[in-house]
A and B are shown apart, each in its own frame.
Chain A
Amino acid sequence: MNQKNNLIIGIIIAAVVAASYNVGADPAEFVKGIPNLGIIIEEAIQVEPELLGTAFVSMFETIEMAFIGTIVGGAISLPLSMLAARNLNSKYVYGPIRAVLAAIRTLPSILWAILFVIMVGLGPFAGILATIMYTIGFMTKLQYESIEAVDADPVDAVNAIGVSKSQLIRYVVMPESAAHLLSQLLYTFDYNVRHTSIIGLVGAGGIGFYIINYIKFFEYGKAAVFMLVVLATVLVIDWISVKIRDKYIVKTQRGMEVKARIKTS
């Protein structure tokens, strides 16, 4: 058994080495490249401060794109998720819907962006459309999984009253999963800010568009400054969404609202 494991590990290592050789990934190149990092930093320091204004404006455009994409994508996702949930539908409904959603999910966001740049031209609109598609693929899976995780007892009890499917969704499924759905929306927004920064690289607007152009013209310092702005923004949004989730969603879900009030009084 142990020998077999060693053999497997040996084969994997050999495969990594062989593949690296094949694609020309030479660690020596990496070491030789380290000093280039110093040059980039040097250039970045010399960048005029006015450029930061442009960086923030384009970052804001990216955030707007991510925001629109998340809200519109999320709104389209919700009814689709209701149809894709196995506990609410027959397999003739959720089967085809899930197949379509899986197909949407297979395409990475950057390919969606390229598709929409071809369709509607360069600019933020293509990026927004790509973000919507990406959000639908990504979010429906999260949503229908939390809909399926809703406690079956209230669903059965209310269903036995003879309510309609839409009433069941409105009065049982939604309230029981609202906390999860909201927290997923925040998480997806957070995630979409990163994605929307990347899809700009293919011309779909936002800060990524600037970064790729600076790289094209060998202005690595400026590109680095813009990348740092992305990094800082993502960290801030991440921090804010964790705070919101902790404060409003996780606590109300567990009924900790009351305890917190007792503690402060």
Chain B
Amino acid sequence: MITIRIPTPLRSMTGGKSEIEGKGASIGELIEQMNADHPGLKDRLCDEQGEIRRFINVYLNEEDIRFLTGKDTPVKDGDEVSIVPAIAGGAHD
């Protein structure tokens, strides 16, 4: 099993869970399976081309998958995947 850490904005899609478990041989397969369990999750993570959205970092054990082999990055039992929205903010009204 692979542990996936879910950031607060996406927890509404995982029944409030901050961690879910998943299976798959690659990050791409893991995302498909997460989406089967939690419909709509893939849309929040990936753009229309299927790439990870440019304000989201997906880390496999602390390394951004963009610097590994993206969605083809292999995953194995015991791995930890973290989904982290890049920092943002807004000025005062």
Tell whether A and B belong to one assembly: no
Q: Residues of A at under 8 Å CB distance from B?
A: none
Which residues of B pack against A, CB within 8 Å? Answer: none
